[in-house]
């Protein structure tokens, strides 16, 4: 399973990239706002930093304008993946941009039927938002399992990119189900390394080592 980093903060991406944990990056208007940077400038910097897909989102609502924005975003770098919303106009834009050879990430997916339509429209990635479903008492991981089965049934090449990841359990369950990608905020990604038994074990080792009075360096 691939890890994408869900942020527009260059320092966070660079740190995780150095550990080999970044297969791609996803951004959206909210993340760009938090970064305080110009969208074209920060997206270009991210593309230069990572080799994998970098999702950059259109902000128009009509297919015609989405297509125009998508073409402009795609000129930033070869690894740009144009992100469009899962609306009727978004699907139209997805089909045109995909036919023109661009990678497309269809976002804000909340149902298996939506995911099926996105795959038929040629999406490179489908982004189901599991955390937002959990927020309304619907198990977001059930949706990932449904999409996985549908895509496998018909051999769709669209990759399942699990988004709105809030917990480490979302990551574990995505891997078990067989999602292709999870896009994870840096804070959640770092929590994957944590376990109380690891911390307790290390504390015990350090106490015992101190009693030996030895040094390695």
Nearest to 162 by CA among 26, 16, 17, 10: 26
Number of C-alpha atoms within 13 angstroms, CB side, residue 92?
A: 12
- Per the CB < 8 A criterion, the answer to whether 69 and 60 are in contact is yes
> In terms of Cα–Cα distance, which of 110, 131, 112 is closest to 173?
131
Note if 17 is an active site residue: no
Which position among 83, 92, 95, 207 bears the catalytic label? 83
The values of phi and psi at residue 75, to 5°, are: -75, -15
In whole angstroms, give the CA distance from residue 32 to residue 28.
Answer: 6
Length of the chain: 217
Catalytic positions, please?
Answer: 83
């Amino acid at each position: 399973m691939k890890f994408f980093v869900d942020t527009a903060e260059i320092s966070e991406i660079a740190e995780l990239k150095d550990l080999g944990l970044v297969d791609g990056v996803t951004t959206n208007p909210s993340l760009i706002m938090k970064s305080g940077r110009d969208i074209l400038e920060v997206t270009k910097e991210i593309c230069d930093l990572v080799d994998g897909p970098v999702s950059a989102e259109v902000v128009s609502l009509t297919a015609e304008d989405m297509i125009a924005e998508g073409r402009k975003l795609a000129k930033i770098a070869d690894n740009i993946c144009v992100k469009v919303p899962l609306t009727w106009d978004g699907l139209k834009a997805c089909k045109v941009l995909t036919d023109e050879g661009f990678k497309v990430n269809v976002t804000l997916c909340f149902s298996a039927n939506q995911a099926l339509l996105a795959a038929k429209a040629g999406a490179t990635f489908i982004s189901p938002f599991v955390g937002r479903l959990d927020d309304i008492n619907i198990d977001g991981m059930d949706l990932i399992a449904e999409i996985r089965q549908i895509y496998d049934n018909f051999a769709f090449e669209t990759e399942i990119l699990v988004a709105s990841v809030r917990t480490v359990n979302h990551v574990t369950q995505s891997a078990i189900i067989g999602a292709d990608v999870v896009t994870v905020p840096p804070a959640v990604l770092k929590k994957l390394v944590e376990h109380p038994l690891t911390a307790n074990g290390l504390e015990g080792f350090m106490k015992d080592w101190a009693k030996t009075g030895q040094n390695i360096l």
